């Protein structure tokens, strides 16, 4: 299960200590509110269920890739809103672009059997665990 938990690399340097202090005291709550992709991982025994909030993205905006033992979820959208008056001139025009990428380790996952669905802004991935094969017990007949 711990293979799927995103992790931070800390080197123990003074800069890491200061960054951690700033996150906790000044910006910790704010950065958690604006996380680009909030993710829950549920252990269901024979598989993990990963649920990621991706509001406002279309299914075609989301890409899921596997490279080696790493699962990458990327999403990118470009949105254009425009209002025109009756002469065709823009009264207001707003453009918005969002993108992000999240990665997870697939060390204990059977990557060939991963399935995904996207409903109401929530991406759900079923990540089946690798089934450990138990050695067959054999008996040897004594002659």
Segment 50-86, tens digit of pLDDT = 999 988 888 999 999 999 889 999 998 776 655 555 6
* Coil, strand or helix at 24: helix
Question: For residue range 19-53, what is the model confidence (pLDDT) as tens digits?
Answer: 655 555 454 444 444 456 789 999 998 999 999 99
Residue with tokens 């958690």: 32
**Under CATH, what is the fold of the domain 38-128?**
Immunoglobulin-like (2.60.40)
H or E element, residue 20: helix 14-22
First to last CA, the chain: 48
In DSSP terms, which residues pair with 98 in a beta bridge? Answer: 77
What's the predicted TM-score (pTM) here?
A: 0.61
* Coil, strand or helix at 125: strand
Would you say residue 142 has pLDDT above 80?
yes
- Among the residue ranges 23-27, 104-108, 113-117, the one predicted with the least confidence is 23-27
47-53 vs 70-84, strand pairing mode: unpaired
* Coil, strand or helix at 31: helix
Domain spans in the chain, listed from the N-terminal domain onward? 38-128
């Amino acid at each position: 299960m711990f293979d799927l938990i995103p992790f931070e690399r800390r080197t123990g340097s003074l800069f890491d200590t200061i960054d951690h202090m700033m996150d906790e005291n000044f910006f910790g709550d704010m950065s958690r509110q604006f996380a680009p992709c909030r993710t829950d991982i549920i252990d269901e025994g024979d598989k993990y269920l990963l649920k990621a909030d991706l509001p406002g993205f279309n299914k075609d905006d989301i890409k899921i890739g596997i490279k080696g033992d790493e699962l990458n979820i990327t999403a990118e959208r470009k949105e254009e809103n425009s209002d025109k008056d009756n002469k065709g001139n823009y009264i207001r025009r707003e453009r918005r672009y969002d993108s992000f990428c999240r990665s997870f380790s697939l060390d204990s996952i059977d990557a060939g059997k991963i399935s995904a669905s996207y409903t109401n802004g929530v991406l759900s991935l079923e990540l089946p665990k690798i089934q450990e094969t138990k050695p067959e017990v054999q008996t040897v007949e004594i002659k």
